[in-house]
Structure 1
């Protein structure tokens, strides 16, 4: 089991880069950035672009996994996400992970004049993932769907990682639709929310239930609030635990040695 940090981008870019550099120096296994675009009227904060910060981390680090948790794919053009992810994969020497989901809060769609209808967004996510994967192939790619059309497009170079950059899909522990989507890709990203929208501790038995599914993907990833002992999930089948919170909490974690459980194998 490996342990990483899931870091909000509500900050100036330089501290985010330094946090990632410190995490690598102290033995953490990955740094993953939240991927937001705008705040809300009641939450006006500085915000950095996740792709730009990850690019800086790609050249400032050598070992840790880098990625997003999560990119709301329906909010972006899939060809742009495909290109950005490949650029990061090659720049980092094959260390990129693309985490995807529908994205929260819905106001990040509506504030930009977009629909936040979950059924519509789910269809865009599924089709968008097909497009991203097709473009990553490096072969000529044609696609005609409900939301996207591509005619004989070829994206070069392909990712360093083959057969593709790992894709982690966010899912609820007992939601067959989201778990089924994750099963088609490389990882499932699980978490629990409090009533006020904060991150909660996911019961280990819920993680074990997902890990035991016949269609469970290779990676079972748990997002948990800072302060959670990753060892809680060591016997539940988790392959990654990502601790998350605000920057002051995560800065303290990054500056300290990674938990010993990061080096435990399943």
Structure 2
């Protein structure tokens, strides 16, 4: 199991200088990754400073050379897929192939859809995620994308292609352990199930193996909080532990955890 630091870019952790310090410390202390929230408004109560994940991740990429980096997760239905394609390819080049992109439908808990007139219906967001992921992967592959619903109205393709081939790894966030979200993730590279136990991981592994034929070269990242049995999750098939922090945590608290090193 690999271990990553997983932070919200809220409050004191919205300071990009704090995140570059955290990224450097994580790399020096043997951690495997740094992942960040992607929000434009707060889904939790209170007024918070919030940082942009792409600018912060670019800064982290310039002060590290080994650890994986990425948003976990980017709500694709509220983003323009062509802009996301450009951002991800640029960051993959800047990091020399260390980007992992987490995608999801997001929620409207903080009015991140409805406040801007975007579609908040969960089913429509699910369809937009399916289509957007397909378009994003095609653009990364250098393919010409034509007339895909509302996302692409004309023929387009982009250059350069990502450093990572056949594509930048795509993981999908979900609160489910069965059904369409699992089958969607199985077509790509990984899944990030929230608040899951070992039995839930085992159910996901079983379904992934059914869809893909095996669970090889597929990542299952789980949230690691105090009291979580990481050994049981690893035995069930989890490959990453995302050591999670919450708005209100300080950079000093994150650095203390980093300095203790990864679990044995």
Scaled by the length of structure 1, what TM-score is found?
0.88
Alpha-carbon distance between aligned partners in 1 of 2:220 and 2:43, rounded to the nearest angstrom: 31
Select which of 161, 165, 169 maps to 2:168: 165
Q: Report the Cα offset of residue 80 of structure 1.
A: 0.8
Given the superposition, is the C-alpha separation of residues 237 and 41 from structure 1 closer, same or farther in structure 2, using an over 3 Å criterion? closer
SS in 1 for 2:220: strand
Given the superposition, is the C-alpha separation of residues 98 and 226 from structure 1 closer, same or farther in structure 2, using an over 3 Å criterion? farther
SS in 1 for 2:255: helix
Unaligned runs of 5+ in 2: none
The aligned counterpart of 1:181 is: 184
CA-based RMSD: 1.8
Given the superposition, is the C-alpha separation of residues 127 and 15 from structure 1 closer, same or farther in structure 2, using an over 3 Å criterion? same
Higher strand share: 1
**Cα shift readout 1:28-70 (whole Å, capped 9, x = no counterpart):** 1000111011226942111111000100111100110001110
SS in 2 for 1:212: helix
**Cα shift readout 1:78-134 (whole Å, capped 9, x = no counterpart):** 111111111111111100000000113431111222221101111111111111111
Alpha-carbon distance between aligned partners in 2 of 1:227 and 1:42, rounded to the nearest angstrom: 25
The aligned counterpart of 1:223 is: 223
Select which of 174, 190, 205 maps to 2:199: 205
Alpha-carbon distance between aligned partners in 2 of 1:134 and 1:174, rounded to the nearest angstrom: 27
Q: Is the Cα contact below 8 Å between 2:177 and 2:203 reproduced in 1? A: no
Select which of 108, 123, 126 maps to 2:127: 123
The number of residues matched between the two structures is 250
Alpha-carbon distance between aligned partners in 2 of 1:166 and 1:259, rounded to the nearest angstrom: 25
Alpha-carbon distance between aligned partners in 1 of 2:24 and 2:229, rounded to the nearest angstrom: 22
**Is structure 2 residue 79 aligned with structure 1 residue 85?**
no
**Deviating 4+ runs (over 4 angstroms):** none
Given the superposition, is the C-alpha separation of residues 43 and 88 from structure 1 closer, same or farther in structure 2, using an over 3 Å criterion? same
Q: Is the Cα contact below 8 Å between 2:25 and 2:259 reproduced in 1? A: yes
Scaled by the length of structure 2, what TM-score is found?
0.88
The aligned counterpart of 2:140 is: 136
Alpha-carbon distance between aligned partners in 2 of 1:153 and 1:7, rounded to the nearest angstrom: 35
SS in 2 for 1:3: strand
Given the superposition, is the C-alpha separation of residues 71 and 243 from structure 1 closer, same or farther in structure 2, using an over 3 Å criterion? same
